[in-house]
Amino acid sequence: MGLGWLDDAAFVLGTELSLDEVLRDGVRTSVARCWVDGSTVASQGAHTVIAKCFHSKAMAHNSGGFGIVREWAGLATIPGAPQMLAADLDLGVIVMADLGEVTTLADVLGGSDPDAAVEAGRAWGRGLGATMRGADVATFRRLVRTADPQTLSAGGPASPRLPGRGASRLADLLDDGVLSEEATAEVGLFAELAGGDDAVLTQADPCPGNIVIPADAPDATFIDFEASSVHHPAVDVAHLQVPWVSCDDSGQVNGTFRDAAMAGYREVGPAVSDDMIALAATAATLQTTELSLEPLQRRDAPGRFGSGRQRLVSRWRWVADHPGRTPQLALMCGRAADLAVQEWGWPSELETVPCFAQMTRT
């Protein structure tokens, strides 16, 4: 994508900007660090800012999925988010404070210090729990409704139908034809993940590169708020138990890391049952199945810590081993994993992240 959108960002902020560094340039969004060349009043004295552009103007006011409405509302209502300095939903640009060079959980996991990774896991759990306790659900919903009066979810789960479609895709893959009555009933349980009275508001995309580990504070913070949503706490806690269950950057970690992440969460976060965590992990796995199975059958997809085929097989295995309230869907996931490994030759194990792989080799 070109960088003409930086002129829109400068217009929205009300001062001159020039490019310092492109941080991400994708089909859906672009993110850049910019110098403030004009007055720094609008940037509150800062000489650099982060500008983000959502390229599809047709989606500008669509709050049903990833988009500027959720990012704008999330930045305004979720504690610890970067300060939003200016935004224009019609132009599709947001300008926010520059956090500078930060250490993310991806950086720690890609290093060589397992003890630092365990402490970072605890900070992630604590930061997640603190976010749930402090985020302003009511204001987030009001902002979404204001920006998108036609919204059906008012900031609820972004793609609630995808897990059901993923289950149907598995039925086709396994030559079952259609979902059984039992499996269909289990898919209906995913409606509980909307949260009801238990609903919380989070950034909802806790990939390792989106989790900021502070040097001098016990709680992690987050970046990238375009998936912000209101949902049951289990939707996020599932990532702690099955690290990054719907993220392309997921890798295998050890039990010490998972225990530390869950312990950090329990210090401050709302209580969540094991059954609800398993339900959320199953829904996330089926959503990934719907989105990625077909392209992965054509070719593998590399990630920071492992390939797409490794990730999908490992998630199917986890669901199969944790049936909870969805035993029929768990059985289907187990059969899919066996098929992929035994007949397609897909890898059976997810790669261990570098900091813990060091322990395995020594």
Q: All domains of the chain, ordered by start, with CATH? A: 5-97 (3.30.200.20), 105-361 (3.90.1200)
CA distances to 176, 241, 254, 274, 329 from 322, in Å: 22, 11, 18, 10, 10
Alpha-carbon dihedral of residues 232, 129, 211, 352, nearest 10 degrees?
A: -80
Beta bridge partners of 49: 34, 97
pLDDT in tens, 10-49: 999 999 999 999 999 988 899 999 999 999 999 999 999 9
Task: State the Cα–Cα distance between residues 236 and 229, nearest whole angstrom.
Answer: 11
In order of 24, 36, 43, 83, 203, the CA distances from 47 in angstroms are 20, 5, 7, 15, 27
Q: What is the pLDDT along the chain (362 residues), one digit of tens a residue?
A: 567 899 999 999 999 999 999 999 988 899 999 999 999 999 999 999 999 999 876 665 566 666 899 999 999 999 999 999 999 998 999 999 999 999 999 999 999 999 999 999 999 999 999 999 999 999 999 999 999 888 888 899 888 899 999 999 999 999 988 899 999 999 999 999 999 889 999 999 999 999 999 988 889 999 999 999 999 999 999 999 998 998 988 999 999 999 999 999 999 999 999 999 999 999 999 999 999 999 999 999 998 899 999 999 999 999 999 999 999 999 999 999 999 999 999 999 999 999 999 665 44
Q: Distance between CA atoms of 168 and 183, rounded to whole angstroms?
A: 10
pLDDT digits (tens, 9 = 90+) for 113-169: 999 999 999 999 999 999 999 999 999 999 999 998 888 888 998 888 999 999 999
Look at residue 73 and give its three-state secondary structure: helix
Contact 152, 65 (CB under 8 A): no
pLDDT (0 to 100) of residue 6:
95
Question: How far does CA 164 lie from the centroid of its chain?
Answer: 19
**pLDDT at position 361:** 46
The Cα 212–Cα 102 span in angstroms is: 7
